[in-house]
Structure 1
Amino acid sequence: MKTTATISGEIERFINEHGMTINQLARTTGINSGTLSSIVNGRRPLSMKQLDLITSVMGLEEGHFYELYINECIFHSTPDWRRLGPFLYRCAELSKLDCLDTAVRMTLDNTTYLPMLYELAETFVQEAKYKAALLLYECVAESEKYQHSERLALCHYRLFKHRIENNQESNGRAVVLFEPYIERLNEADQLDAYLHVINVSLPLDRWDSIRNLAERMGKKARIQYENGNYLDTDSGKPNQPIIFYVLYYYMVLENYYAQLEDYERALEYVSLYDFPDWIVNPSDEERKILNQFHEWAIANRYLYRLLSGDREVLPEYIEYISTREDEIFTAICNIVLAANRHKMKIDHVLERFKDYLVYKSQRNIIAPVNEQVTLNNYTRLLAELGIYYLNAKQYERGLAYIVDSFEYAIRIRSDKGMLGCMGLFEQFRSFASSEILQRYQELIREVQKLSVYAWMPVV
């Protein structure tokens, strides 16, 4: 009997080659014989369960017929969600993402599927099927006709979070793509979205944008707190108590002025997040947040005195952070910066805290520290250590740290970091050992492969 490139044709060929009858195949698969007959004769579409049963009995790999299924049951028909949903789910389970993408895009003209596709994407996220979820979010975002819909904004938010990696170039693009959608989220999601975008933007030195984002976040959070909206659990709640977003806003503004070296203005914002009097009857969770910001306030007051050139404060600063494990790494980054700026000797500090001069994830009593922020701080710490030892005429040690920083700058795609390290190395190239010079040359070649500075000749 003639067979065709269809699922029913392949089933019929299997029956003939194995000398079987429809009834025998029905018993083997557990499918009703009348139903199976209708499927083979093309009068009834296959369900996913039936297709998987038949595929297994035929001894074929799971998903073997999925391309044909798309053509027969999706492209040349109008599938209902009872067939489409299970098919997409099985594609995700088997990592047949090409099939999933093709099937979804064939149905996007029917906008009634968009809510179901979005919910399925949310399910995929919960089940750690992230690649499948991203495909669905992208398809829903492309097809959503209501440009101010919350669902569209949520898709872009999910895409933004999954696009973030330890790459400042791609992170910058992700921020630009997502930022216009923040205001379209509900109020609870808005606060977390602002926080997330701010944290991703900090290593990028987008300070004017960071300040603007922080002000919008802080204003919204303060209004919600004063109106008591944070108590309304029906509309959802952000990940942190509302006061966190207000206090964090003040801290961002503090950092904004600190990077301008306007320490007097920075200290004004320190005072705003150090046990503010507008917070009434704090809960246990809010007290934990208040205590953390209070600790940061004490440490930062020491810091700004040190950055202003007050050498006498260093012992107090050291003793304060030495009993606070979570604050040591950040403090060391700042101390080395201050030492280079004011020509201080801190060998004793570096020796005491040498175990903290390695990269590892950071956290505080509230939550883990953003990984991109930690990587950026560590990259800068290595460069500052290099400068410190170069200034001390310990050239081999200093250049080793500069090369280490260069390697991390390449890893996180920090143009500013790469340029800074190359400038420093070239300035002290004559002091480099053959081993350090070889490492540097290898990293230069790596930079060229990235096409960041393709015009540079190979050294």
Structure 2
Amino acid sequence: MEQAIMIRSEIRKCMQEQGFTLGGFSKVTEIRGSYLSLLLNHDPHKYPLPLRHFDRMTQTLGKPEGWLYEYYVEECFITGKADRRRVEPFLLRCAELGKTDCIKQVLSQLMENLSYLPLVFEIAERVHAGGNPQRAVPFYECVAEHEKYQHSETLAISQYRLFRAALGQDLQKNRFAATRFAPFRNRLPLHFQLDGLLQLANTYYTLSDWKRLGEYADELIALAKVVYQEQHQRKTSKRETALLNTERHLVVYYGKGYLHKAISFEKQGLYAESKKYIEGYADLSWFEGLDEVGKHDVQMFQMFAVANLYTIEILMGHNHVLSDYTDYLSKHKLEVLPGLATILESANRYGFPVDDTLERLSEEISEFNQQDDLASLGWRLQFHYYSSIYFLKQDKVNVSIANALQSLELSVIINNSSAFAQIVALFEFCRDKATDTQLNDYKSLLEEVRKYEKFTIGRLNHELI
């Protein structure tokens, strides 16, 4: 009650300071004078303040959006129970303005009665549909925390939304998000299942977890086949085909399943098995129901197949294909970064020179730092790491150290602890030949990691208290 009285007191105070009479304020805000008087001067229990009127008063008084919102929380429960007419618009407006603390205060009181949980989920979906998934996170977290039925569809969708919202450049956070979401993947509606499995596979690809990548690839292939067969049967029997509301064309889920499975085998050194799965997505022109977007996706898979067959040959030490592979990369810019990382890895393993390839693609290499999505950051890390080893073997120590430092910085950015340890070991091997500038850069990176670890441990201890 005190906060409701304070809001009205502050409004009256500002009106007085700015020379507003009740009639004048009524005219500017377009709120009927008698009603305005009731809102500002009478019992808040009898005359709660509608948010639209409060926002109009705020604007008229020249105050910033969200002014006194921390006090308006009480207004949502002024009658002793939640009033949807104020709770819903207030939560939506708080989400729009990023007023997370206000949202959490309302949700905390709202969850004293779990019958409001469907409303929270509904608001979450509306905020998410508005184009800012991060603003919907507190609502989905509320559903995830309070939904007691573990097989609830709304719980599964909330966990999926949280998983997608959590994905970023920090590999360890991504691993946690994937682990949290995975048990709910099969409880989702069909279109979310396809998207969820694809995102899980993509995540474990960036985590270099080839076993789990293969497992989710298998699930994706199986589900895509079932959906495709069901749609084909409906079309054959002339039954109405249900709209598949997925983010991508169905052919992408089918092709990506085979692509990821091929990669999982490749990374485990099972090259013959990898080739079999490459054949599974090399030509998907037979896929029915392809629109223009789907046809373009099929062409992309054809390109990936050619590139990955070259990758297999190079990884097997067949450097006779290097010239052809270099020609191919020069014509397909998107494949240059992963292609060169693979070429350097194999060159280090089998001892063949790749200087001509590096020279031919030097312009593309100079543009690598413009690629900053998570997958590209991982490939850039590998490229510089393998470059460091390659140039060290050529006794080009200064160039080797420069590449090691670049890969070390990338390992810090994406929080790849295993790569960080490997690169530190590499740097220490040739530390005595590093310049003062390189040593200072190295020290700065280590200090950054130390500060981050201190912050993480401190936050963990705080959460455990």
Q: Is the 8 A contact 1:8 1:41 kept in 2?
A: no
1:13-162 aligned at under 5 Å gives the runs: 25-39=25-39, 40-42=41-43, 43-57=46-60, 60-74=63-77, 76-162=79-165
Q: Is the 8 A contact 2:170 2:413 kept in 1?
A: yes
- 2:424 matches 1:404: no
Residue 98 of structure 2 aligns to a residue whose secondary structure is coil
Q: For 1:272, which of 280, 283, 286 is the aligned residue?
A: 280
1:286-305 aligned at under 5 Å gives the runs: 286-305=294-313
Distance 1:126 1:277 in 2: 34
1:176 shift after superposition:
0.9
Distance 1:52 1:438, change over 3 A: closer
Distance 1:344 1:306 in 2: 11
Distance 1:446 1:174 in 2: 24
Residue 212 of structure 2 corresponds to which residue in structure 1? 209
Distance 1:19 1:244 in 2: 64
1:397 shift after superposition:
0.6
Residue 368 of structure 2 aligns to a residue whose secondary structure is coil
- 2:256 matches 1:248: yes
1:142 shift after superposition:
2.0
Distance 1:35 1:328, change over 3 A: same
Distance 1:21 1:441 in 2: 65
Distance 1:10 1:279 in 2: 66
What code does the residue aligned with 1:359 have? Answer: F
Structure 2, gaps ≥5 residues long: 457-465
Distance 2:291 2:226 in 1: 19
Residue 450 of structure 1 aligns to a residue whose secondary structure is helix
Distance 2:149 2:179 in 1: 21
Q: For 1:343, which of 337, 351, 355 is the aligned residue?
A: 351
Distance 1:237 1:5, change over 3 A: closer
Distance 2:211 2:174 in 1: 17
Aligned residues: 445
Q: Is the 8 A contact 2:121 2:143 kept in 1?
A: yes
Q: Is the 8 A contact 1:200 1:372 kept in 2?
A: no
Q: Is the 8 A contact 2:4 2:74 kept in 1?
A: no
Distance 2:15 2:299 in 1: 74
Q: Is the 8 A contact 2:191 2:245 kept in 1?
A: yes
Q: Is the 8 A contact 1:153 1:181 kept in 2?
A: yes
What code does the residue aligned with 1:101 have? Answer: K
Distance 1:9 1:453 in 2: 42
Q: Is the 8 A contact 1:361 1:374 kept in 2?
A: no
Residue 417 of structure 2 corresponds to which residue in structure 1? 415
Offset from partner CA, 1:255-282 (integer Å, 9 cap, x none): 1111121212211211222225863575
- 2:383 matches 1:374: no
1:183 shift after superposition:
1.1
Distance 1:62 1:450, change over 3 A: closer
Distance 1:107 1:339, change over 3 A: same
Distance 1:452 1:21 in 2: 57
Distance 1:216 1:69, change over 3 A: same
Q: Is the 8 A contact 1:154 1:185 kept in 2?
A: yes
Q: For 1:198, which of 201, 213, 218 is the aligned residue?
A: 201
1:88 shift after superposition:
1.9
Distance 2:358 2:383 in 1: 12
1:285-324 aligned at under 5 Å gives the runs: 285-324=293-332
- Which is further off, 14-23 or 74-83? 14-23
Residue 451 of structure 1 aligns to a residue whose secondary structure is helix
Distance 2:247 2:392 in 1: 45
Distance 1:311 1:21, change over 3 A: closer
- Which is further off, 6-15 or 42-51? 6-15
Distance 1:11 1:280 in 2: 64
Q: Is the 8 A contact 1:361 1:371 kept in 2?
A: no
Distance 1:359 1:30, change over 3 A: same
Distance 1:339 1:333 in 2: 10
Q: Is the 8 A contact 1:117 1:140 kept in 2?
A: yes
Distance 2:15 2:301 in 1: 73
Distance 2:20 2:343 in 1: 81
Distance 1:236 1:149, change over 3 A: farther
Residue 262 of structure 1 corresponds to which residue in structure 2? 270
Distance 1:315 1:292 in 2: 22
Residue 89 of structure 1 aligns to a residue whose secondary structure is helix
1:177-196 aligned at under 5 Å gives the runs: 177-196=180-199
Q: Is the 8 A contact 2:49 2:75 kept in 1?
A: no
Distance 1:385 1:16, change over 3 A: closer
Distance 1:76 1:401, change over 3 A: same
CA RMSD between the two structures: 2.9
Q: Is the 8 A contact 2:172 2:415 kept in 1?
A: yes
- Which is further off, 408-417 or 232-241? 232-241
Q: Is the 8 A contact 1:386 1:400 kept in 2?
A: yes
1:56 shift after superposition:
4.5
Distance 1:86 1:210 in 2: 42
Distance 1:236 1:150, change over 3 A: farther
Q: Is the 8 A contact 1:379 1:405 kept in 2?
A: yes
Q: Report the TM-score when normalising by structure 2.
A: 0.86
Distance 1:83 1:341, change over 3 A: same
Structure 1, gaps ≥5 residues long: 363-369, 455-459
Q: Is the 8 A contact 2:15 2:61 kept in 1?
A: no
Q: Is the 8 A contact 1:321 1:327 kept in 2?
A: yes
Distance 2:21 2:311 in 1: 84
Q: For 1:440, which of 418, 439, 442 is the aligned residue?
A: 442
Distance 1:268 1:17, change over 3 A: closer
Distance 1:337 1:4, change over 3 A: closer
Distance 1:281 1:89 in 2: 39
- Which is further off, 128-137 or 277-286? 277-286
Q: Is the 8 A contact 1:4 1:10 kept in 2?
A: no
Distance 1:78 1:435, change over 3 A: same
1:13 shift after superposition:
6.2
Q: For 2:368, which of 334, 359, 366 is the aligned residue?
A: 359
Identity %: 29
Distance 1:389 1:206 in 2: 28
1:393 shift after superposition:
0.7
